[in-house]
């Protein structure tokens, strides 16, 4: 199979099922943003894979790889793959609960946050903050979808909740990684 197909040379692409849409269609923008998030998490893994940082009993690298897998099927859902939608939504809801448990576990071991922080510290932490901001953009794109055709089908609810909690998780994880690597954070100071 060739990498290039030339079918997108006119500015269109195919969604799952074959429907052709413009490459700036909100669905393409949305799953493209999820793909960008996935790539940013790959950068994080490149910095933590040998550090053996754990959340409870799990290595951070393994947790992030699980998120990357989730993002692949979220991308498929956003592209129109509705096969097994109930099972996928159940999976996303389970993952949201897991994120909350990990957030609570990390937060209980760190000092209470009393100020805003600037993305800073270690390389993995800075890239986790970057991934968090991409995740927030993906979340906004899903909202745009829900205000359109998805609203009629109510397909995006579990995805929206997943992305919202994922961004909270990535923020907490960025703080956790800095803590584990002995790096300090830079507090934001108002001018």
Mean pLDDT of the chain: 87
pLDDT at 59: 93
**Kind and range of the H or E run holding 179:** helix 157-180
pLDDT at 63: 96
DSSP 3-18: S--STTTTSEEEPTTS
Backbone angles phi and psi of 12, in degrees to 5: -125, 160
In sequence order, what are the residues at sequence separation of 6 or more whose Cβ sits closer than 8 angstroms to the Cβ of residue 95?
Answer: 66, 70, 162
Reported as a pLDDT band with limits 50, 70 and 90, residue 22 is low
pLDDT at 68: 98
pLDDT in tens, 95-133: 999 999 999 999 999 988 888 888 899 999 999 999 999
Residue linked to tokens 């929206």: 160
pLDDT at 108: 96
Q: Could you tell me the domains of the chain?
A: 13-182 (1.20.1200.10)
pLDDT at 67: 98
pLDDT at 14: 67
pLDDT in tens, 66-97: 999 999 989 988 888 777 878 888 999 999 99
For residue 181, give both structure tokens. Answer: 């690597």
More confident call, 15 vs 70: 70
Residue 134 pLDDT exceeds 70: yes
Nearest partner of 158 among 74, 49, 102, 48, judged by Cα: 74
Whether the model clears a pTM of 0.75, i.e. scores above it, the answer is: yes
More confident call, 2 vs 66: 66
């Amino acid at each position: 199979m060739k990498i290039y197909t030339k079918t997108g040379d006119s500015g269109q692409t195919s969604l799952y099922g074959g429907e052709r849409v413009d490459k700036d269609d909100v669905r393409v923008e949305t799953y493209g943003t999820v793909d960008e998030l996935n790539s940013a998490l790959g950068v994080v893994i490149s910095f933590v894979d040998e550090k053996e940082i754990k959340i409870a009993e799990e290595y951070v690298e393994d947790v992030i790889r699980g998120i990357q897998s989730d993002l692949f099927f979220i991308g498929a859902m956003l592209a129109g793959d509705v096969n097994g939608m109930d099972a996928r939504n159940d999976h996303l809801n389970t993952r949201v609960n897991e994120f909350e448990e990990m957030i609570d576990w990390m937060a209980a071991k760190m000092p209470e946050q009393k100020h805003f922080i600037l993305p800073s510290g270690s390389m993995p932490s800075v890239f986790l903050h970057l991934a968090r901001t991409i995740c927030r953009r993906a979340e906004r794109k899903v909202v745009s979808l829900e205000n359109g055709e998805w609203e009629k089908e109510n397909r995006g609810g579990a995805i929206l909740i997943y992305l919202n909690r994922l961004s909270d998780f990535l923020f907490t994880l960025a703080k956790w990684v800095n803590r584990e690597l002995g790096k300090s954070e830079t507090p934001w100071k108002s001018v």
